[in-house]
Structure 1
Amino acid sequence: MKSDRRGSTWRLATTLAVLTVAAIGLAGCSGEVSAVDRASARVSAKEKAVTAAETALAAASGEFCGASKDYITALDRYADILNDTAPTVGDVRDAGSDLAEPREGAVEGAQAAVEAQEDLAVAQQELADAQAALAAAQAGSTAEPEEATPPPASTPLAPTASVERVKRAESEFASAEAAVTDDTPLREASELFNSAAVALELAWLRLFVDAGCITDEQKAQAEAAVSAYTSALQQDLTTTGHYTGAIDGIYGPMTVQAVEDLQTANDLPVTGTVDKATAEALQAELVAVGGAAAQESVASTAAVQQTLKLVGFWDGPVDGVWTPELTEAVMAFQTELGVEPTGAVDAVTIAAFEQALAELEAAASPTPTPTPSATQ
């Protein structure tokens, strides 16, 4: 198993440490070896064991990040298939088996990383004990050294809440998969499975970020995109009467409750996350509400989509629906033009849009042919 391979480096370092101390003890049979020398050698060996454990943890963490990214990609790809095609009940049921291998890799990677962290904690404690014994030997004490103060508890690879969220989402996903049978209506099967898949993908994404699998810059960009998307969602939920909180871009308890209320009102699986069916239900309510606010929201989003399509940054539909992909497209356009990539369409971005469109119009206009009078 991966965890066995991961632990081999640490166990080898521990074995070498034991052999080093034993060799010094045997050397004492032919020559005097002081207690300080023995204690110093033990400290040196334990330092090597800690270094090996740190290397093993770094490798295990890297494997976890890679495996979890593969799993998230697989979840996202399968959600796209369900959204972009007309799936059969069989397609929905087969999704579980298609996702089994990447899921296993991600779970094994997480377990190996946790075990590597535990091994490092043991190695650090043994080093602290060895250092305490060396200090006692150097002080000339013949008494048994007191047990060293345990090193500070290591920071978990990810917050407990993120781990528990993944476990809960995995359980709900498995339940959704088991609930789909040949007799399940297609619409119900697709909605049930897709909602569970989206919730599971979001849970793993949170764990992926919390475990340090992305850079600080990537994290800042992701948070900006999520904030922009959430603000737009909160505005639409406010328009449809499901949300009464502040438009602050924070996907907190009030936003989750508003999404759940929307799902309940439309007889959808209640997850608190926005999947395809939930987004369609929200859009339908916006259209039903009508009024300037709803129409303006759809019209302005469609305008952004159309503009991005003209300048080559959007290949999706011009349907007035703001999606995470649209936020990414806005950020890519902003980056290209040297505008801060917030994902939100502010005054600076609008000015950049206008400039880009003016340049496109100028490039498309034919160059006027000089007239005789103009050349005389």
Structure 2
Amino acid sequence: MAVGLTGCAGEVSSVDRAEARVAAKEKALTDAQAELLSASEAFCEASETYVMALDRYGDVLNETAPTVGDVREAGADLSEPRDDAFDGAEEAVAAQQQVVTAEKELAEARAALERANAGTSVEPSVAAPPEPTVTPLAPAAAVDRVMQAESAFAASQSALTDDTPLADASEQFNSAAVALEFAWLRLFGEAGCLPNEQTLQAQAALSAYTTALQQDLATVGYYAGAIDGLYGPETVGAVEALQEANGLIVTGTVDNATADALQAELLALGGAAAQESIATTAAVQQTLKLLGLWDGPVDGLWTPALTDAVTAAQIELGVEPTGAVDAATLHAFQAAMEQVTQPDSLESPTPMPSASDES
């Protein structure tokens, strides 16, 4: 029997075994990639559910007259979707690691097949191929911001007692929920849960708004964090400080009254602060770009280059070249934009709809 088994074994060459191993590792990689796709889709679905739950939670606090019990109950309703989102994230990360492992094992199997074809079992002395690298499902900064926001929200929950005034309870939870929803929205987009075009549009809109807000809050002295376009706890805290200083309801969210208060403080400072309050930086950049007078980014950051562009635009439009966006400059911008959108009556006899008609 031993002789017979030895003979059978001898019929399977080292090349055959190496090829079989490569085929097995290729299938393992395909399976791992399919599992990663499934896990990623599950995470996106769970995180979307959680974001929607956070949004509904904000509606409860804003559109009703909540009791402390309402606040607690609404917060408790977030527990299950939060757990599902985190479980989905962990499963997706684990599936991603399985892909990395499968890629490494396939590379090793292919190297062994090359050696078998060469008729040697000795590994070459040349440097081994680099280890497969993995691209995180989402940038570390977005993940860290979610964890910070989750921690702040948990702290606001633990601080709530039967003796907590109703207004304070709502403010604490609402502020923490706003930061948490913004953090998860960013993570949702950066984890690939939206089509590429939608992701870019959503991220750009959210980042531009938050960047401009952070810059304005920093200008009036309420914000000392990074101007990074991430609506996190520091940004919420700055909005709260602004609201408290102006006698407004402290929510951490920017409503019309809060926006007016911020604009008033910016105008009171004058100079560079005033130019950013009359029209947001991003709006100035976009207007100049449409007029062909700005080729830089529309990112909400006021830079010396933008000041130069405003000055050049004022000279071209016949406005005093101050480099600041004042009422006269806005009027000149508006008139120039109307000229850009007006049809040439000699070339196009059909009138184009005006901006007011389209709106």
Q: Give the TM-score normalised by structure 2.
A: 0.65
Unaligned runs of 5+ in 2: 281-332, 343-351
> In the alignment, residue 127 of structure 1 is paired with which amino acid?
L
> Match for residue 355 of structure 1?
354
Q: CA deviation at 1:39?
A: 0.5
- d(CA) in 2 for partners of 1:241, 1:90: 36
Preserved contact between residue 27 and residue 33 of structure 1 (Cα < 8 Å): no
Match of 2:203 among 200, 215, 223: 223
* 1:169 is the counterpart of 2:141: no
> Match for residue 42 of structure 1?
21
> Match for residue 253 of structure 2?
276
Question: Aligned residues: percent identity?
Answer: 51
> In the alignment, residue 355 of structure 1 is paired with which amino acid?
S
Match of 1:137 among 113, 116, 126: 116
Over 3 Å counting, the alpha-carbon distance change for 1:27 and 1:185 in structure 2 is farther
Give runs of aligned pairs for residues 95-244 of structure 1, distance below 5 A: 95-143=74-122, 149-230=129-210, 233=213, 237=217, 242=222
Q: CA RMSD in A?
A: 4.3
> Which sits farther off after the overlay, 79-88 or 350-359?
350-359
Listed one character per residue, the Cα deviations across residues 83-116 of structure 1 (whole Å, up to 9, x for unaligned) are: 1222111111112221111111111110110110
Over 3 Å counting, the alpha-carbon distance change for 1:28 and 1:238 in structure 2 is same
- d(CA) in 1 for partners of 2:358, 2:235: 43
Match of 2:61 among 61, 82, 92: 82
* 1:264 is the counterpart of 2:241: yes
> Which sits farther off after the overlay, 161-170 or 184-193?
161-170
Q: What SS does the corresponding residue of 1:29 show, helix, strand or coil?
A: helix
Listed one character per residue, the Cα deviations across residues 232-255 of structure 1 (whole Å, up to 9, x for unaligned) are: 63686478565799xxx96279x9
Runs ≥4 in structure 1, deviation > 2 angstroms? 26-31, 142-152, 223-245, 249-253, 255-268, 273-291, 296-301, 345-348, 350-360
> In the alignment, residue 201 of structure 1 is paired with which amino acid?
E
Preserved contact between residue 178 and residue 253 of structure 2 (Cα < 8 Å): no
Q: What SS does the corresponding residue of 1:56 show, helix, strand or coil?
A: helix
> In the alignment, residue 69 of structure 1 is paired with which amino acid?
E
Listed one character per residue, the Cα deviations across residues 289-325 of structure 1 (whole Å, up to 9, x for unaligned) are: 888x99x999999xxxxxxxxxxxxxxxxxxxxxxxx
Listed one character per residue, the Cα deviations across residues 338-364 of structure 1 (whole Å, up to 9, x for unaligned) are: xxxxxxx9847x96998364589xxxx
> In the alignment, residue 114 of structure 1 is paired with which amino acid?
V
Q: What SS does the corresponding residue of 2:106 show, helix, strand or coil?
A: helix
Q: Give the TM-score normalised by structure 1.
A: 0.62
Listed one character per residue, the Cα deviations across residues 109-159 of structure 1 (whole Å, up to 9, x for unaligned) are: 101101101111111111111111111111111447889635321111112
> Match for residue 12 of structure 1?
none
Q: What SS does the corresponding residue of 2:198 show, helix, strand or coil?
A: helix
Q: What SS does the corresponding residue of 1:214 show, helix, strand or coil?
A: coil
Over 3 Å counting, the alpha-carbon distance change for 1:217 and 1:144 in structure 2 is closer
* 1:33 is the counterpart of 2:12: yes
- d(CA) in 1 for partners of 2:189, 2:200: 11
Unaligned runs of 5+ in 1: 1-25, 302-344, 361-376
> Which sits farther off after the overlay, 233-242 or 44-53?
233-242
> Match for residue 337 of structure 1?
none
Q: CA deviation at 1:276?
A: 3.2
Q: CA deviation at 1:170?
A: 1.4
What is the count of residue pairs matched by the alignment? Answer: 283
Listed one character per residue, the Cα deviations across residues 195-224 of structure 1 (whole Å, up to 9, x for unaligned) are: 111111111112112211112211222134
Q: CA deviation at 1:225?
A: 2.2
> Which sits farther off after the overlay, 110-119 or 231-240?
231-240
Q: CA deviation at 1:264?
A: 3.4
Q: CA deviation at 1:230?
A: 3.6
> Match for residue 315 of structure 1?
none
